[in-house]
């Protein structure tokens, strides 16, 4: 196993579809400007309720990427 050093960032993703979609959006957006993304961890999940139904999902994702 190789030795790596990682930098950690936190990104908040949101979606009207669901938590999985919010995670995908957060990771995809981070990958557009960062390289060597290796893992993620969902730290927080929350949502917005409107008219008695879930209208909006939000996740805070910790993302680890390797430093060269």
Domain hosting 31: range is: 11-67
**7-62 pLDDT, tens per residue?**
999 999 999 999 999 999 999 999 999 999 999 999 999 999 999 999 999 999 99
* CATH (domain of 54): 3.30.1660.10
Residue 23: other Cβ atoms inside 10 A: 19
In this prediction, residue 25 carries a pLDDT of: 98
| Residue 5 within any structural domain of the chain | no
In this prediction, residue 31 carries a pLDDT of: 97
pLDDT at 2 over 80: no
Dihedral pair phi/psi, residue 18, rounded to 5°: 170, 175
Give this prediction's pTM: 0.88
Domain count, the chain: 1
């Amino acid at each position: 196993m190789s030795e790596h050093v990682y930098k950690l960032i936190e990104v908040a993703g949101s979606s009207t579809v669901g938590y999985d979609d919010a995670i995908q959006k957060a990771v995809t957006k981070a990958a557009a400007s960062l390289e060597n993304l290796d893992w993620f961890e969902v730290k927080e999940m929350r949502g917005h309720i409107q008219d008695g139904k879930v209208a909006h999902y939000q996740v805070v994702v910790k993302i680890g990427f390797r430093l060269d």
